[in-house]
Structure formats: structure tokens, C-alpha cells
Structure 1
Amino acid sequence: MTTNRIGVFGANGRMGLALLEAATIKEQTQLTGAYVRSSSSLLGINVNQVNSAADSAVSFSVESEVNNVDVLIDFTLPQGMRNHLKTAVAQKLPMVIGTTGLNADDMALLNDAAKHIPIVFARNYSVGVNVLLNLVQTAATKFGDDLDIEIFEAHHRHKIDAPSGTALAIGESIADAKGWNHDEVAVYDRSQVETAKSQNEIGYSVLRGGDIVGEHTAYFATMGERLELTHKASSRMTFALGAVRAACWLQNKPAGLYDMQDVLDLK
């Protein structure tokens, strides 16, 4: 049985700590790298002193000291991801990326890097959310055109990007099913709109508060009935275990840009 050696960027963050635990407890994986910024006070400290469930001999080290790993996982902010991507390409290491809030230039970097290494990029690594992406496409195609589509998402107060990457993935899946250009039909603010809602749009609404891990609902409303498809995450371990699953799946894959739908064989 092959063991996948996992290295985690941003290992001291909320998701980073969950990833350390997931890489420790999941079968066929071994945590061999926990990378933080050079200014971090955790440098040299064993990871299990910060997360006791991450029972590993690995200590926190600087991001420039990537070695002894088979695949890298990155859930950091876009600026950090850009630097980590360079490291992965230089060392020809597969990479799992869960960074959200990426712009067009970031996506161009991902596509270019994927010519050299295999990359799984997904806005959400939950199995349930990726099943939801399929369900919303079915709903979008089965209802008629006289349909109002709205997406609501809620996260903890520390989440910066809005709407969330997962909400956008849901909207993009619906737009694909309807044959729409998502950027043309997405509506993020109605505060200045004085006309009735169009059926050819996807509206987004956002809540930020407390410690909400993640909730997403797609609404399909017609005159007389409403379908609500909801996913609620109660633990970051849901996403961390999915990311580690993706890391194992990447083993021996050719260079290319993949997503969680590929990992779960949902396409």
C-alpha cells in the first residue's frame, strides 16, 4: 500500500490545522510538512502542540523548506497561493488548492501551472457540496423558464470573500445547465434596482457572523411551489478530509487542472 506524504501550506490557519489532522488520521497518508510564514512564532514547534489530534513528529517550518513530500495542499489567501504554486512547479509536485477569491489572473496562473503538474482546484472539497452541484443542474433543467433562482450562503465573521467560492460554484453550475453566461446573469446587489426581478438572473445573498462553518442554499421558486437544496457543514474536517482524499487521488495523474467532480467521478 502506497503512502502519500502530505505537505500543508498555511498550516497554522483554521483550515491548515484541520488539514494537519486530516493528513494524520486518513489511511494511506502521512503528514511530512507543515509550512508557515518566516515570521510565525510557531516555527520549530511540533504540530501536535497546536493540534493534539495531529499526532506527528513534524514541526512547523518555513514555506521555503518544502521537501520530503509527494503532494502539497494549499488553502491560503490568493497572494500566498501564487508563491506556493511557483514552488510546486519548480519541484514538480502535485498540488491541491482550495484558495477562494481568485481573480482572472490567478486562474490564468493555475491553468499555466497545470501544463507542468497535476492540480486539483475546487471551491469546496465536501462530498455533499459536490453532489449538490449535480442536483442543482437537474433542478435547473427540469423546471420551466418561469422560475426564480436565488442562492444564499452563510459563513463565520472572518471569511473575507463574498459571495463564497462555493456559492459561485453553485451559480455557475446552474448557469451551465441553463445555457447562460454566469457573469451576465449574476446579481449581487439590488439596492439600486427599481424593477421587478427577471427570471433570467441568479441572485446572491450573504450572511457573515459568529462561527458558522458554511451553509449554502439554492432556491428554485415558481408560482405555487419552491424547491430548496441546502448543504450545511458543521466541521472544517469535512473539507480537510476531502482535500486529503483529492491529494491521494492525484497520485500518478498526468499534468492538468482537475476539480473535485473528477475526484469523485461525478462527471
Structure 2
Amino acid sequence: MTDLRIGIAGITGRLGSLCAEEAGTALSGGTSRHPVPEKNITSSPDELAKRSDVIIDVSNAATIAEHAKCFSQNNCAWVIGTTGLDNAAQDAIKEASTRIPVLQAANFSPALTVFLDLARQISAALPSYDAEIVETHHRQKLDAPSGTALAIGEAVAQGRGLSLKDVARTDQNGRRPDNAIGFASLRGGQVIGAHDLLLLAADEEITLSHRALDRRVFARGALHAARWLATKKPGLYSMADTLKNE
């Protein structure tokens, strides 16, 4: 699509500001709790949707239901990077995807997208190995486990035919249950993001690791997703879909 107009919901946040820089002249504006009209930054998602073809949403979980309704009404494609969503928010996303193209990702990194596929495969191949996920982030991060860690857990559970909500273990007290998928969250300094999946047996172990070295990898991935999604039909897509040969 030529002359694609890309909006950023949450444009003044850490990732939102980087997405705005990467969008360049395609940027149509953004939303923030503190509007800056001369920079096309508004507090109204409806106003942003009216001047955008696709919106990258890196705002916060509390806005998802409103955005689902607003972007659907304006026929605006929606890339969602917001994590920590409850069931009501997920239902709103699913409903919106029947009317507009929606891409939801816990992490926009291409390498992490491949990591999730590998996690699914290796967990299926080694179903008896204990699975532990360790994630480290900067000291300002609010949610734990991270959305990416939970996505890794989902991949492990899918590979083993399990439901993550039934086997997730965030409290390490007591004996480790069979089939548990453990999570450990570390917070400190300004770590952009580090994730390790450990599969452990009595006589060997294997670790998959991902380290983000520059936050721009997420912004560039989000922009790639936005440009890819803009031409798609209504539906719910993932970052893995953007890496497939078409």
C-alpha cells in the first residue's frame, strides 16, 4: 500500500516514541493522556483512527476495549503490543478481528518469534523434561511474568498438549509438580529484555536464550507488522504470520 498512514497509540511511551521515529513520514499521529495538537498527538483514539490506515497500539491494557470498538468502527487495521490483558480484553480483540485485520504479539522481535516456534517444537520432543522460564527486565517494568515469558510458556504448553493456566507455576515454594511450567522474574537496572527457556532432565539440560540488545528491534518489528497487516483481510494474526513466505 502506498502512502500508508500509521498511527501510534501510546506514542509518548518508551516503545511508542521509537515506533514514531521509525515510521518517519508515514506517521499520522498518536494518542497520549497529554495531547500535543501541533504534533498530531491527541487523547482521542477516534480522532487518530480517522486519519490512519493502521494503528500500532503500545498503550495500556485499560484502553483495549475502547480501542477495539473505535478502530473497528473506523475500519482501521490494529497491531497490538499491549500485554497484561484480561479475558474481557481478549474477547474484545477477538470480536474486532471479525471486522478488521488485527495482529497481536507479546514481542515484535523477529528472532523471538522464531524462538517461540522452537520452544513449541523442543517441548513436544522432550515432554518429560522440566520446563523453567527465566526473564529479566529493567527495574521500571510493572508486570511479571512478562508478556513474552507468558508467550514462551504458551508455546511450551501447546507443544505438550497442555493448558498453561493449569500448569503455570510462579510460586517456587514446595515440591515441583509434574508437568509444571515454571516462571522466574528478575527486575533491575535497565535490562531491555532477556528470556531463557530451560528444559532440565536428571542427566542433561538444554537452554534456549534470547537477548534484546537495542529496543529499536521491537519498533522495527512493529512497523514491519503494520505494513504487512494493512493489506490483509479481517482476522486475528500473529508475528509468525508476517515471517511466512507468501
Q: In 2, distance between residues paired with 1:83 and 1:210?
A: 34
1:30 maps to what in 2?
A: 26
Tell me which structure has the larger Cα radius of gyration.
1
Q: 1:128 aligns with which of 111, 114, 139?
A: 111
Q: Structure 1 length normalisation: TM-score?
A: 0.86
Q: Structure 2 length normalisation: TM-score?
A: 0.93
User: Are 1:76 and 2:24 an aligned pair?
Assistant: no
Q: 1:44 aligns with which of 37, 61, 65?
A: 37
Which amino acid is the alignment partner of residue 227 of structure 2? C
Equivalent residues in 2 for 1:134-153, closer than 5 Å: 134-143=117-126, 145=128, 147-153=129-135
Q: In 2, distance between residues paired with 1:144 and 1:90?
A: 45
1:55 maps to what in 2?
A: none
Q: In 2, distance between residues paired with 1:199 and 1:142?
A: 17
Which amino acid is the alignment partner of residue 212 of structure 2? A
User: Are 1:166 and 2:166 an aligned pair?
Assistant: no
Q: Helix, strand or coil for the counterpart of 2:37? A: coil
Q: Can you list the C-alpha shifts for 1:177-199, whole angstroms capped at 9, x where unaligned?
A: 111111111101023x2x3x234
Cα displacement (A) at 1:156: 1.2
Cα displacement (A) at 1:45: 4.8
2:202 maps to what in 1?
A: 223
Q: 1:249 aligns with which of 228, 232, 237?
A: 228
1:105 maps to what in 2?
A: 88
Q: Can you list the C-alpha shifts for 1:228-248, whole angstroms capped at 9, x where unaligned?
A: 101011222111111111111
Q: Can you list the C-alpha shifts for 1:133-189, whole angstroms capped at 9, x where unaligned?
A: 0111222122252x1110001111221111111111111111111111111111010
- Is this contact kept in 1: 2:127–2:160, CA < 8 A? no
Q: Can you list the C-alpha shifts for 1:99-142, whole angstroms capped at 9, x where unaligned?
A: 00001111011001111111001111110111000111222122
Q: In 2, distance between residues paired with 1:22 and 1:199?
A: 45
Which amino acid is the alignment partner of residue 36 of structure 2? L
Q: 1:265 to 1:44 in 2, by over 3 A?
A: same
2:14 maps to what in 1?
A: 14
Q: Aligned residues: percent identity?
A: 38
- Is this contact kept in 2: 1:156–1:208, CA < 8 A? yes
Q: 1:21 to 1:178 in 2, by over 3 A?
A: same
Q: In 2, distance between residues paired with 1:14 and 1:160?
A: 14
Q: In 2, distance between residues paired with 1:161 and 1:189?
A: 15
Which amino acid is the alignment partner of residue 81 of structure 2? G
2:41 maps to what in 1?
A: 60
Equivalent residues in 2 for 1:170-249, closer than 5 Å: 170-191=152-173, 193=174, 195=175, 197-249=176-228
1:51 maps to what in 2?
A: none
- Is this contact kept in 2: 1:149–1:199, CA < 8 A? no
Cα displacement (A) at 1:84: 2.2
Cα displacement (A) at 1:209: 1.5
As a proportion of its length, which structure holds more helix? Answer: 2
- Runs of 4+ residues over 3 Å off in structure 1: none
Cα displacement (A) at 1:264: 1.4
Q: In 1, distance between residues paired with 2:87 and 2:239?
A: 20
